[in-house]
Structure 1
Amino acid sequence: MRVLQLVTRRQHRGAEVFAAHLSNALAERGHEVYFVGLYPPPPEPLAPAAAKTADLQAEPGGRGVSLARLSQLASCVRSLEPDVVQANGSDTLKYSVLVKRLQRGRWPLVYRTISVASYWLRYPGQRAWGRWLARGVDHVVAVSDESRADFARTYSVPASRISTIRRGVHLPGRDGAAEARENLRALADLPPDAEILVHIGSFTAEKNHLWLLEAFKQIRRRRERSHLLLLGDGPLRETVAQAVAGGELEQAVHLLGSRADADELVAGADLLLLGSTVEGIPGVILEAAARGVPSVSTAVGGVHEAVRDGETGMLVPSGDTAGFVSAVVELLDDPRRRQQLGMAAHEFVRQHHDMKVVVGAFEGLYQELARAART
């Protein structure tokens, strides 16, 4: 099959990273895969080795629709003649649906939703617009059951046109932990006895960095050797940097920027922390679990589908600073318990999020939709 994977931008963020992994795996199975960015690429773009890459060059616009970008995407689809198009989050939905409607395209359109759709309703008419777009999609794939139920309810999608295919991760084992720990120490200039807490995510409002800093301030007072390493980039990075500068956290919080090797570096952490206000199912939790690193996270969206509280990590209610601090300190105080959770997390991912199984599920869906489109 010829598959077009459309992402917002070829950047190192959750939806795009998974789409890149999926593109590569599908290409390795013999499919012709195009990994296309809707917006111009960042300085170090994602580039799945086995897939072909391209980017539309129209400059980013506002919340509306750029006619230049719409025209470019229409030309791209027309030239590639894909058997299936998958749109991966954000603006890819509106542009792919509009192109399909304008072209009266027979190619099946799959939309992958990674968050909780209702959380993002901000403006009058947004729900009606979303329902119109959803009717132009042949099948919606949700990253978690929570995401699936919310998307179906919010945009009136029938059960026959939406399903859950969980985020898949590769299972590298835990042998690289020592090297990853040394790399983290070197990147942040940490002392040998540092306790390493890692957060991976874009610097955006929903990732809740400022709340996490307040929680870490209390953790640091109880665990003086603890350090918080923030991996990622985004519009609020400077705000977070200013919150750290000149205060008691200046020597304990380290902003390391966006890292293509973040999934490898997390193996060197004692814990992964996540304080988000909304999530579908966080890939970073699964990547950490695959490397035997447990997480402490707020219990939002589909996080409970990635972390079994008290078994593979710890969950606390959103906004419960005291509970979050206690959970982190408890695990830092008990290395054996931390190791047990990490081993259980690794096994959970092996059983439920094996990338080979996930790729097979997408491949089967594409084949089914492509057959239906030909009849």
Structure 2
Amino acid sequence: MTDNRPRILHFICSTGFYGAEKWILALANNIDRDKIESELVVTREPENQDLVLTSAFKSLQLPAFELPMKGRFDFRVIRSLVKLIKERNIDVLHTHGYKSDIVGVIAAKLAGIKCLSTPHGFEKTDDWKLHQFIRLGCQTFRFFDLIVPLSVELCNDVRQYGVAEEKIAYVRNGVDLTSIDFRLPSSNHDGSGRSENMRTIGFIGQLIGRKNVADLLDVFELVAAENPDIKLVLLGDGDAREQYEKHASQLSVHKQVYFEGFQNDPLSYLAGFDLFVMTSTLEGIPRCLMESMAMGVPVAAYDIPGVDQLINHGDTGLLAQLGDKPALAEHWKKLLWDSETADKIAKNAADHINEKFSARRMALEYTELYRQLSAGEIYMAKEAIS
């Protein structure tokens, strides 16, 4: 290894182990360590004592640190972050999320280093105070050296906050294929449209408003009312979990719905799903959807920006218009009981993810961004990658 490798510090105020956390791991695991040094710092907050990301990052034999943070915002952490940046000789601070954007851009400027933000999505909330914090985080984009959204739609969102065009670079999201084993869903089917085992419909993600899990539960009731040999398994946690559990309890098929909470190894569950489903109203490029497609699990979702970059209707999955629950229910049925269609779509989807959305490809593009950003050549990098 050479001594002039750019040293990158990923900074996130983690609330669990979801899309952004997995994205950081995928990038760090696939980037060429002979060219880039990757490190991680996570805030440790009172309500989040189980920082899975820290231990997972260390398992890659990479340095990871935690900074105590009292309450939703503790600006004393800025001083701690500046100190860490200087001690570790960091060249570029890479932030993930509105809170880390606010704290990170200030710390980077004080430390005199370059800073880059990757927006993973914009949360919609009824909490006025939280909404203001998120808005403040978005306003900081103008002060970063580079903003690298995960999707074309997110690029358009970033422009609305007054970010100069030359500061926006688009690098397509990627999934770490090294941890994924492909399998065809019909391995549990007997070819007659019936299954030797109960069909399992699955969802993985945060239980928050924009995931719109209420619609998912309603669609499940439409399907399960006619087909009692299916169950719905939901992995994840969030501030809307109690609301969704109450909604599920009122369904006629509530005994077939299982809220399993947050799981450290969701891929082990995903491997047992016959169908992966989403009913989100807002997404970036959903990682759980990419993982499902890469594993050969057929997928069905609402047709929204971000999701439409992964699913080509009828080819790599099935899409229904946002809010059209009866249409989505019919898609679920087709993928559950038409094994020929399910297998074809699953194979096409896996090929699509391997070709277009691998973390290896994403890491190569970020390697060039990091190198040129640290060398002051970022506008050349943007032109080359766009």
TM above 0.5, yes or no, is yes
Cα distance, 1:350 vs structure 2: 0.9
**Residues 52-63 of structure 1: pairs in structure 2 closer than 5 A:** 52-61=63-72
Matched, 1:32 2:32: no
Is this contact kept in 2: 1:38–1:56, CA < 8 A? yes
Is this contact kept in 1: 2:10–2:93, CA < 8 A? yes
Distance 1:27 1:58 in 2: 32
Distance 1:131 1:31 in 2: 28
SS of 2:94's equivalent? strand
Which residue of structure 1 lines up, in the alignment, with residue 84 of structure 2?
76
Cα distance, 1:199 vs structure 2: 0.3
**Residues 217-228 of structure 1: pairs in structure 2 closer than 5 A:** 217-228=221-232
Change (3 A) 1:127 1:279: closer
Matched, 1:291 2:299: no
Matched, 1:148 2:155: yes
Which residue of structure 2 lines up, in the alignment, with residue 235 of structure 1?
239
Which residue of structure 2 lines up, in the alignment, with residue 303 of structure 1?
307
Alignment deviations for residues 167-226 of structure 1 (CA, whole Å, 9 cap, x no partner): 2113334159799x8xxxxxxxxx952111100001111111122111111111122212
Distance 1:213 1:133 in 2: 37
Change (3 A) 1:194 1:109: same
TM-score by length of 2: 0.84
Matched, 1:198 2:202: yes
Q: Unaligned 5+ residue runs, structure 2?
A: 1-5, 189-194, 379-386
Q: How high is the sequence identity, in percent, across the aligned residues?
A: 22
Is this contact kept in 2: 1:27–1:51, CA < 8 A? no
SS of 1:248's equivalent? coil
What amino acid is aligned across from residue 162 of structure 1 in structure 2? I
Which residue of structure 1 lines up, in the alignment, with residue 11 of structure 2?
6
Moved more, 306-315 or 324-333: 324-333
Is this contact kept in 2: 1:7–1:87, CA < 8 A? yes
SS of 2:315's equivalent? coil
Is this contact kept in 1: 2:185–2:297, CA < 8 A? no
Distance 2:138 2:252 in 1: 48
SS of 1:91's equivalent? helix
The equivalent position to 1:43 in structure 2, one of 35, 47, 50, is 50
Change (3 A) 1:126 1:53: closer
Cα distance, 1:84 vs structure 2: 1.0
Higher RCO (CA-CA < 8 Å; seq separation 6+):
2
TM-score by length of 1: 0.87
What amino acid is aligned across from residue 110 of structure 1 in structure 2? L
Which residue of structure 2 lines up, in the alignment, with residue 188 of structure 1?
none
Distance 2:135 2:15 in 1: 29
The equivalent position to 1:20 in structure 2, one of 9, 21, 25, is 25
Change (3 A) 1:342 1:194: same
Distance 2:217 2:134 in 1: 34
SS of 2:68's equivalent? coil
Is this contact kept in 2: 1:273–1:295, CA < 8 A? yes
Distance 2:263 2:364 in 1: 28
Alignment deviations for residues 86-122 of structure 1 (CA, whole Å, 9 cap, x no partner): 0012311111112233x1x4321110012258x6797
SS of 1:76's equivalent? helix
**Residues 97-136 of structure 1: pairs in structure 2 closer than 5 A:** 97-101=105-109, 103=110, 105-116=111-122, 129=136, 132-136=139-143
Which residue of structure 1 lines up, in the alignment, with residue 273 of structure 2?
269
SS of 2:176's equivalent? coil
Segments ≥4 residues shifted beyond 6 Å: 120-128, 176-179
Cα distance, 1:149 vs structure 2: 1.7
Cα distance, 1:240 vs structure 2: 2.3
Cα distance, 1:284 vs structure 2: 0.6
Matched, 1:88 2:96: yes
Distance 1:298 1:108 in 2: 38
SS of 2:314's equivalent? coil
Cα distance, 1:32 vs structure 2: 2.9
Q: Unaligned 5+ residue runs, structure 1?
A: 182-190
Which residue of structure 1 lines up, in the alignment, with residue 174 of structure 2?
168
Aligned residues: 357
Is this contact kept in 1: 2:235–2:262, CA < 8 A? yes
Cα distance, 1:127 vs structure 2: 9.4
